[in-house]
Structure 1
Amino acid sequence: MRYATLFWEYIKNYAKTRLTYRADFWIEVLSDLLFQGMNLIFILIVFQHTPSLGGWSEAEVVFVYGFFMIPYGLFSTFFGIWNFSERYIVKGEMDRVLTRPAHSLYQVLLENVDPPSLIGSLVGAIIMVMCWTQLDLPFHVWDLVIMALLVLGAVLIYAGLYTALSSISFFSDAPTGIVPLMYNIQNYGRYPVNIYNKVIRFVLTWLLPFAFVGVIPASYFLEKKTDDLSQLALLTPVMGLIVFSLGLFMWNHGVKRYRGAGS
């Protein structure tokens, strides 16, 4: 209950700040929409040159991209710690965080909450609905429950990987070069993994499981049997719990080793 109250107080402070600079808020929303729109246009251009991609039709790949946007938008809203090293380690703000009784990761996440990113999740849901109709997929009430579980698992995978990445800052104050690399790798998860060679497919499925944030869970609703993706889909929540637990373990271990910003 205390953490829920703390969350609400941070959201109110965020709203007060954004109401002061409303133009910045809408510019951020617009820029995010343009970025997502360019990614979608890229997919459409690809299918101008080929009728299918690894056995997947245009509507199916766009469906996967729509699913990919939902957990990514939620992750960006509540786990946007891209600049953790520079802000909290290099500039010493982690010292301030550790003087407070709430868990350090929870505080850092609340200080970087970004509600405009939820627009991306909304757009992704709209894309999925449109493709769902176009593909004439069956719909059942329990699909909504399964969707929620798959999205939650995908968000936890994102959160775990980037929490682990941020925790490296406790051991080295210059890990920022890894962030762009990880960001580029995650984008591979929005395409069918069977188009990659076996090594990349293994990495995206079991080492850096970004396939579980897009194509694998989306394949459950598409009923794709290629490489048994639809059978792996229900492992998404389990994978999410495992990856997030590892990320949280690394964070807590890093906090114990942290000795302050110094001079």
Structure 2
Amino acid sequence: MLYAVLFWEYIKNYAKTRLTYRADFWVEVLSDLMFQGMNLVFILVVFQHTPSLGGWTESEVIFVYGFFMIPYGIFSTFFGMWNFSERYIVKGEMDRILTRPAHNLFQVLLENVDPPSMIGSVVGAVIMAVCWNDLGLAFHWYYVLIMLLFVLGAVLVYAGIYTALSAISFFSDAPTGIVPLIYNVQNYGRYPVNIYNKTIRFVLTWLLPFAFVGVIPASYFLEKKADDLSQLAWLTPVMGVIVFALGLMLWNHGVKKYRGAGS
């Protein structure tokens, strides 16, 4: 109950700030939409030169991209810790966080909540709906529940990986670290993994499981049988729980090792 109240208070404060600077809010929304639009244009350009990509049609790849956008938008809204190292470690704001009774990770997440990113999830859902109709896919009522389960699992995969990366900052005060590199790697998860060689496919599936935030769960609804992707889709929530648990463990261990900005 306490955490629900805290969450609501942070959201109200965010809304008050954004109402003061409304132009910044819409500029952020527009820039995010433009970025996602450029990624979509890239896919369209690729299919101007080839009829299929590893056995996947244009509509199928765009469908996967639409799914990819949904968990990514939710993750960016509630787990935006891109500047954690610089703000909380280098500038010492983690000291302030640790003086409060609420869990430190929860506080950090609330301070960086970014509701405009949720627009990306809405756009992703629209893209999926359009492609669903174009592909003539069957729809069953229980698909909604499965979709929610897969999206939750994908969000947890994102959250676990980036929580772990942020936790590395407790052991090193480098302001950037490897987050930009991993951010680039994650984009490979929005494309069919069977177009990559075995090494990259293994990395994207089991080491940095970004395939579980896009192509693998999306393949369930596409009923893709290649490489048993539709079978692996059911591992999405399991993978999410495992990755997030590992990320949280590393975070808690890092907090115990943290000795303050002056150490």
Q: Deviations over 1:42-62 (max 9, x none)?
A: 000000000000000000000
Decide whether the 8 Å contact of 2:70 with 2:124 is kept in 1: yes
* CA RMSD of superposed structures (Å): 0.7
Decide whether the 8 Å contact of 1:170 with 1:257 is kept in 2: yes
Decide whether the 8 Å contact of 1:168 with 1:175 is kept in 2: no
Shift, 1:188, TM fit: 0.1
Q: Deviations over 1:196-221 (max 9, x none)?
A: 00000000000000000000000000
Q: Deviations over 1:113-167 (max 9, x none)?
A: 0000000000000000000000000000000000000000000000000000000
CA distance in 2, matches of 1:90, 1:190: 33
Decide whether the 8 Å contact of 1:73 with 1:117 is kept in 2: yes
Gaps of 5+ in 2: none
Match of 2:12? 12
Partner of 2:119, secondary structure, is helix
Match of 2:32? 32
Scaled by the length of structure 2, the TM-score of the pair is 0.99
Matching of residue 235 in structure 1 with residue 235 in structure 2: yes
Alignment of 1:186-205 (within 5 A): 186-205=186-205
Match of 1:140? 140
* Compared CA separation, residues 86 and 230, structure 1 to 2 (3 A): same
CA distance in 1, matches of 2:20, 2:89: 29
Matching of residue 258 in structure 1 with residue 253 in structure 2: no
Identity across matched positions, percent: 84
CA distance in 2, matches of 1:91, 1:175: 10
Decide whether the 8 Å contact of 1:150 with 1:236 is kept in 2: yes
Q: Deviations over 1:85-107 (max 9, x none)?
A: 00000000000000000000000
Match of 1:89? 89
Match of 2:214? 214
Gaps of 5+ in 1: none
CA distance in 1, matches of 2:6, 2:216: 35
Give structure 1 regions of 4+ aligned residues with deviation exceeding 6 angstroms.
none
Match of 2:248? 248
Amino acid at match of 1:38: M
Decide whether the 8 Å contact of 1:194 with 1:227 is kept in 2: yes
